[in-house]
């Protein structure tokens, strides 16, 4: 919602992005992603060809105050299903909670990160952001904060970040890279 209201394109990698690539994820019949969805009837079909239809709609409110609409899907009947142990741990029928708005936004973001620009931004984030913490921990030998209290720790961290940014700027000036903000993708020959 924040990105839409500020006219920004989402390039957010889903939490399960790495799991989606694994064979174990693709073979897990309990996952919503591995079930067929029929948009006309608004039903999911499990691996035993049984329908999960919407039973109710729940409105959940997060700690930050965001209210989401969640549709609860329930299987018509799971009795005597041979795949039930692999599909659900519930004693009754299989239930599944789905936020359609979340899925739609996640799909948009997923498609954006697969583009050339999305790949470039993902690569740069891993180089610039996560690399910064590696430099602080290994090169600067930063193991723990020397002060106590939120304000003191915050001040110490800000000073550490200032030092890191000054070193980074110095390195960019020395290597004549002051106008480059993103690293280029290396092409495979």
Which has the higher per-residue pLDDT, 152 or 35? Answer: 152
pTM above 0.75, yes or no: no
Which has the higher per-residue pLDDT, 104 or 83? Answer: 104
SS3 57: strand
| Tens-digit pLDDT profile for residues 98-110 | 888 888 888 888 8
Give the per-residue pLDDT at 130. Answer: 67
Confidence of residue 150 (pLDDT cuts 50, 70, 90): very high
Share of the chain above pLDDT 70, in %: 92
Give the per-residue pLDDT at 103. Answer: 86
Which has the higher per-residue pLDDT, 151 or 128? Answer: 151
Confidence of residue 80 (pLDDT cuts 50, 70, 90): confident
d(CA 5, CA 30): 35
Confidence of residue 146 (pLDDT cuts 50, 70, 90): confident
| Tens-digit pLDDT profile for residues 161-187 | 898 889 888 988 888 877 776 667 666
| Tens-digit pLDDT profile for residues 11-62 | 888 787 777 778 887 778 888 888 888 888 888 888 888 888 888 898 988 8
Q: Where are the domains of the chain?
A: 2-111, 118-174
Q: What is the mean pLDDT of residues 144-152?
A: 90
Specify burial of residue 75 (Cβ count, 10 A radius: 0-12, 13-18, 19+): buried
Model confidence at 151: pLDDT above 90: yes
Give the per-residue pLDDT at 187. Answer: 66
Transcribe 88-152 into DSSP letters: ---SSS-EEEE-HHHHHHHHHHHHHHTSHHHHHHHHHHHHHHHHHHHIIIIIS---S-SS-SHHH
Which of 13, 28, 46, 22 minimizes the C-alpha distance to 114? Answer: 13
Confidence of residue 153 (pLDDT cuts 50, 70, 90): very high
Which of 20, 21, 40 minimizes the C-alpha distance to 32? Answer: 20
């Amino acid at each position: 919602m924040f990105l839409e209201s500020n006219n920004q394109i989402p390039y957010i990698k889903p939490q399960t992005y790495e799991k989606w690539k694994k064979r174990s994820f693709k073979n897990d019949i309990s996952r919503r992603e591995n079930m067929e969805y029929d948009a006309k009837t608004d039903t999911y079909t499990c691996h035993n060809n049984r329908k999960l239809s919407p039973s109710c709609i729940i409105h959940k409110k997060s700690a930050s105050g965001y209210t989401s609409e969640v549709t609860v899907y329930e299987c018509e009947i799971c009795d005597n299903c041979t795949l039930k142990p692999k599909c659900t741990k519930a004693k009754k029928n299989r239930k599944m909670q789905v936020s359609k708005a979340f899925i739609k936004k996640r799909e948009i973001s997923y498609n954006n990160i697969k583009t050339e620009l999305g790949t470039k931004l993902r690569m740069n984030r891993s180089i610039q952001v996560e690399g910064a913490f590696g430099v602080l921990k290994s090169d600067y030998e930063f193991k723990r904060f020397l002060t106590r209290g939120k304000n003191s720790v915050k001040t110490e961290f800000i000073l550490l970040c200032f030092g890191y940014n000054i070193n980074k700027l110095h390195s960019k000036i020395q290597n004549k890279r002051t106008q480059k903000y993103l690293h280029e993708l290396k092409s495979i020959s």
